[in-house]
Structure 1
Amino acid sequence: MQTLPKSRLLRFVEEAFQLAQRAVARYSSKFSKQRYTLHQHIVLLCLKVRKNTTYHTLLDELIEMPRIRSAINLTELPAPSTLCKAFDRLDMAVWRVLLNLSVSLLPTNGVTGIDASGFDRSHASKHYTKRTKLTIQQLKVTLLVDTRANAILDIHITPSLINRNASEIEVLLGDKGYDDQQIRRMARENGVRPLIKHREFSSLQKAWNARLETELCGQQSQSETVNSRLKRKYVAFVRSRRWWKQFRELALACIVHNLDRAI
């Protein structure tokens, strides 16, 4: 009988499993029940985001996925609450390590773009907020995107992105929303060349922008494309009620995006 080729989903799971093995220990502590490994938890959380589904639906589908279960040595399925608690226990530092490792799978070139986007919160009922006159703010984050591989290098607020990733950036692209002398100065202090469009208040600034358009050749729009793809495919809104968990959701979606690009 002919062996079936590996699907993209199976290759994604294998890549995520290898990444998890490089990032964290097998178990969270010596007191762990050792029923499931941290590597398995991470892969299942990544798989949930990639399939854009719920814990219950994912585990129900895994019943009919023996090759996927075999790839991560999963002999029995965890309860949905087990995965939910695993997500709570894994610190943001772990997701940042995984994000950095996922970037290493892609051919980056040091030319990066920054772009911010807002994410709605799914638990906020519009009827309730309107009736009680509450204001629920969006979660707004900035992505740092490599323009060659469309890889997401980091996710945070703008100054932190530049300082934390200075060694990975040669050129920083940005639209007029990032026309700020503090950002330009910070980039130069870190040895990064800022190519950020100016707000047009004079003919000189219009001329500068026209020159930048020629030099950028549409590369800035790639970071906007990645932002849009992240929303359409993985995380149109955040489900968690607490802001630190919402941020982890987005970091996890960025890892899944990079893994998808790598395969």
Structure 2
Amino acid sequence: MQALPKSRLLQFVEQAMHLARRSVARYSSKFSKRRYTLHQHIVLLCLKVRKNTTYRTLLDELIEMPRIRSAVDLTELPSPSTLCKAFNQLDMTVWRVLLNLSVTLLPTNGVVGIDASGFDRSHASKHYTKRTKLTIQQLKVTLLVDTRANAILDLHVTTTRKHDSKIAPSLIKRNTSEVAILLGDKGYDDQNVRALAREESIRPLIKHREFASLHRAWNVRMDADLYGQRCQNETVNSRLKRKYGAFVRSRHWWKQFRELVVRCLTHNIDKAL
């Protein structure tokens, strides 16, 4: 019988396992029970996000996925609480290292857009929230996206209404080697942002707020074709919400931040396939 080709799901798992082996040790410490490895935990957590499901549903589906279990070297399935505890224990720095490694899988060109979007902190019916006049607080997620491969280079998450111009400097400083041209809308029109970008040898292509005729003239003279690539940010924001959900499942803010980083990591691996 002819061997079946690899599915995209199997390729995703193999790529995630490859990144996990490059980024973390096999076990968390010498006192570990060594029943499951950190690599297995990372892959299963990424798989949960990719399938946009719960721990219990994921483990139930894995019973019927022998090729996936084989790729992760799973001889027995962990309990849902085991995966939940693993997610709590894996530090944000581990996920950021994985995110940085995932960028190397994609062909980037240094033309990077910056934009923010909102994610609900609770999954509630729109009809219910409208009838009860309930307001669901959102997370503000700012993404740094390479326009060639739609790779997410970095992200910033906040629960406050922090202005875009105050968020951009930290993202620029963390990614100076990856950014050659920075594309931004009028929300990032700030002299400090422009000055910082030029100090780091980055060309800021940011729309000016039109307070005077000179500002309008600068906007007209802007390279329209290059600036038009900023729409890739909207594409990535839409893709994240359509594929992985427009809300976060975690209840604690620090777990919500990690969940969004895992989504960005999952997006990059998916794009690499």
Q: TM-score, normalised by structure 2?
A: 0.91
1:174 aligned onto 2:187: no
1:186 aligned onto 2:196: yes
Shift of 1:185: 1.3
Q: Secondary structure at the match of 1:31?
A: coil
Root-mean-square deviation over aligned CA pairs: 2.0
Which residue of structure 2 aligns with residue 144 of structure 1? 144
Does the 8 Å CA contact 2:103/2:153 hold for their aligned counterparts? yes
Name the stretch that deviates more: 165-174 or 205-214: 205-214
Aligned residues: 263
Aligned positions of 1:188-207 closer than 5 A:
188-207=198-217
Which of 239, 248, 259 is matched with 2:249 structurally?
A: 239
Which residue of structure 2 aligns with residue 99 of structure 1? 99
Matches of 2:27 and 2:245 in 1, distance apart?
A: 28
Which residue of structure 1 aligns with residue 164 of structure 2? none
Matches of 2:104 and 2:256 in 1, distance apart?
A: 25
Q: Can you list the C-alpha shifts for 1:51-87, whole angstroms capped at 9, x where unaligned?
A: 1111111001000000000001011000011101100
Which residue of structure 2 aligns with residue 256 of structure 1? 266
Aligned positions of 1:1-263 closer than 5 A:
1-122=1-122, 136-156=136-156, 157-216=167-226, 218-263=228-273
Q: Secondary structure at the match of 1:237?
A: coil
Shift of 1:124: 7.1
Shift of 1:13: 0.3
Letter in 1 for 2:25: A
Q: Secondary structure at the match of 1:61?
A: helix
Does the 8 Å CA contact 1:235/1:250 hold for their aligned counterparts? no
Moved over 4 A (4+): 123-136
User: Identity over aligned residues, as a percent?
Assistant: 80
Matches of 2:127 and 2:219 in 1, distance apart?
A: 44
For structure 2, which runs of at least 5 residues remain unmatched after alignment?
157-166
Q: Can you list the C-alpha shifts for 1:132-178, whole angstroms capped at 9, x where unaligned?
A: 99865311021000011110000114221100101111110001111
Does the 8 Å CA contact 1:113/1:220 hold for their aligned counterparts? yes
Shift of 1:9: 0.5
Shift of 1:121: 1.0
Matches of 1:32 and 1:132 in 2, distance apart?
A: 48
Q: TM-score, normalised by structure 1?
A: 0.94
Matches of 2:119 and 2:50 in 1, distance apart?
A: 17
Shift of 1:25: 0.4
Q: Can you list the C-alpha shifts for 1:78-121, whole angstroms capped at 9, x where unaligned?
A: 00111011000000000000000000000001110000011111
Shift of 1:123: 5.8
